[in-house]
Homo-oligomer: A and B are copies of this chain.
Amino acid sequence: MIMTALPQFEPNQALTLDDLREVWPVLSDDDRAEAFRLLPREEAEDFYLSLTAWEQARLILSLPSRERKLWVRQMPPDDAVDVLQAVPPENREEILALLDPRTRQEVLALMAYAEDAAGGLMSPRFARVRPDQTAEEALKYLREQVRHQLETIYYAYVLDPTQKLLGVVSVRELFAAPGDKPVRDLMETDVLSVPEDLHQEEVARIMFDHDLMAVPVVDEQNRIKGIITFDDVADVVEEETTEDMQKMGGMEALEASYLQTGILEMVKKRAVWLCVLLVGQMLTATAMGRYQAEITRAVVLALFIPLIISSGGNSGSQAATLVIRAMALNELRLKDWWRVMGREMISGLILGGILAVIGLARILLSQVLFQDYGRHAGLLALTVGLSLIAVVTWGTVAGSALPFVLRRFGFDPASASAPFVATLVDVSGIVIYFTVAELILSGSLL
């Protein structure tokens, strides 16, 4: 019963689109279907089209069988493919059977492509004209194609008889041209196109970088297979960015939105990395175990361990974030490695220097005010300061190098998460700290 989930509604009150958007994230699938069916037809259409493929799939499966066809047929073939890929395999046949024959055929052709490839994203419904048509003829021809529910008629693709892509012309250019000018003389021949198997992230990057409203997908013989429109990649960019961020936060990417992901599913996505990191952190206990004698002699040394190792982790997290994002935006490539290392080495030294001054000041001030650290306070301050410089420089270099290393070996650079970098730097930070301590304090505190 929807009313149990929506206590604020009076039973006889009409459900508006805004109300539904408001409560949608917290509704169960059945409540969603029930609420959806309360919407006036036109609003229901708008709302349906604004849902993600994943939500559409769940909604369709929750509707009574007789109402499914209506909504499945609302979708152009590329969107229908997305929905089919989101429904459980056992429901696919049933949904496919609801499509009209032409769309079903298009959908089956598109489903041969990988879900995250250009082919899996494209629509076969694009506007076409011939090079020998005049501007006037081309416009008339476009008008005839309107009834085919094309993705867009704004760009018309100029094809030869074998479907080879010769050029592209926009409605704007056809409007502006003298009516008897042939399309051949109007079209842009230098068309940016993408191969069928290009990854959707690359497609999105190309469209964003060139501000393209649509891009044609071609096979190896330059024959046009379909077009991808900006609304297809807008979702891709958001999805990929969300995945990147979740990986950068130290977990596996969720498949659905936060509130739609069950708690156990979410725990699974988070537990794997937490366990890996815990095992990594156990090396800190091992490293500290090696210095147990030093800690026993000078317990004061232990007090500064969290401060020093976390400063390395923090500077490493900054560096990793900068490099991962710059890589995602194609601003950095593998070959920029040395340039980045150089910059980060210098940045790390300066940042470490600044932190060292603050750390030193803190210990000396505390010593002057409260006599906290005994007669070797000066040497202790020096140890902490030098360790900060070394650990921060190392953290910065390691944090910026890790995404390069991951990409070099075929992993996602976004996996160089802040927690991953911090764990890496924590272990080495302890070794650096105690090495500096032995050098400076041996004979005094140690």
Tell me the A residues contacting B by CB distance below 8 Å.
Answer: 25-26, 49-50, 142-143, 146-147, 150, 152-154, 171-172, 175-176, 208-211, 213, 230-231, 234-235, 237-238, 241-242, 244-246, 248-251, 254, 257-259, 263, 266-267, 270-271, 273-275, 277-279, 281-282, 284-285, 288-289, 292, 295-296, 299-300, 302-307, 309-311, 313-315, 317-318, 320-326, 329, 331-332, 336, 339-340, 343, 346-347, 350-351, 354-355, 358-359, 362, 372, 392, 417-419, 422-423, 426, 430
Please tell me which one of the listed residues B146, B230, B241, B300 contacts residue A172 in the complex, with CB atoms under 8 A apart.
B146
Which among B176, B257, B259, B343 is the interface contact of A339 at CB below 8 angstroms? B259
Nearest CB of B to A71, in Å: 17
The answer to whether A258 touches B311 (Cβ under 8 A) is no
* Count of identical protomers in the assembly: 2
Across-interface contacts of A176 in B (CB, < 8 A) = 143, 146-147
Query: Do residues A347 and B146 form an inter-chain contact, with CB atoms below 8 A?
Result: no
The answer for the CA separation of A318 and B275 in the assembled complex, in Å, is 13
When C-beta atoms are compared, the residue in chain B nearest to A246 turns out to be B321
Find out whether the CB atom of A249 lies under 8 angstroms from the CB atom of B249.
no
CB distance from A243 to the nearest CB of B (A): 10
- Asked if A270 and B146 sit within 8 Å, CB to CB, the answer is no
- CB of B146 within 8 A of CB of A258, answer no
Cβ A245 vs Cβ B311 within 8 A: no
Ranked nearest first, the 6 interchain pairs of A and B with the lowest CB-CB distance are A249-B321, A418-B418, A211-B231, A284-B306, A258-B326, A314-B419
Q: How far is the CB of A122 from chain B (nearest CB, A)?
A: 16
Given A329-B238, A372-B289, also A278-B249 (CB < 8 A)? no
Chain B neighbourhood of A359, CB < 8 A: 278
For residue A171, which residues in chain B have a CB less than 8 angstroms away from its CB? 153-154, 171
14 intermolecular pairs with C-beta atoms under 8 Å apart: A49-B211, A250-B317, A257-B326, A257-B329, A258-B325, A258-B331, A258-B332, A274-B311, A274-B354, A274-B392, A278-B358, A302-B305, A305-B306, A417-B418
Flag if A354 contacts B322 (CB, 8 Å).
Answer: no
> In the complex where A238-B208, A242-B329, A303-B288 touch, is A267 in contact with B321 (Cβ < 8 A)?
no
The answer on a CB contact under 8 Å between B307 and A284 is: yes
CB neighbours (8 Å) of A231 from chain B are 211, 213
Q: Which of A142, A147, A306, A336 has the most CB of B within 10 A?
A: A306
* A234 contact set on B, CB distance < 8 A: 208, 211, 230, 234
If A147-B176, A299-B295, A423-B310 touch, does A274 touch B315 (CB 8 Å cutoff)? yes
Which of B292, B320, B358 lies in contact with A249, CB distance below 8 A?
Answer: B320
Docked complex Cα distance between A313 and B309 (Å): 13
Nearest Cβ in chain B — how far from A312, in angstroms? Answer: 10
> Of residues A271, A285, A300, A324, which shows the largest number of chain B Cβ atoms within 10 Å of its Cβ?
A285
Q: What's the minimum C-beta distance from A413 to chain B, rounded to whole angstroms?
A: 13
Set of chain B residues within 8 Å of A362, measured between Cβ atoms = 282
A242 and B325 contacting across the interface, CB-CB below 8 Å: yes
Rounded to whole Å, the gap between the CB of A401 and the closest CB of chain B is: 14
In the bound complex, residues from chain B placing their C-beta under 8 Å from that of A259 are: 326, 331-332, 336, 339
Q: A154-B154, A296-B299, A314-B423 are in contact. List 18 more A-B contacts (CB 8 A).
A: A146-B176, A150-B172, A153-B172, A153-B175, A154-B171, A242-B325, A245-B321, A250-B418, A257-B329, A263-B346, A274-B311, A274-B351, A277-B310, A278-B307, A284-B307, A285-B306, A313-B422, A317-B417
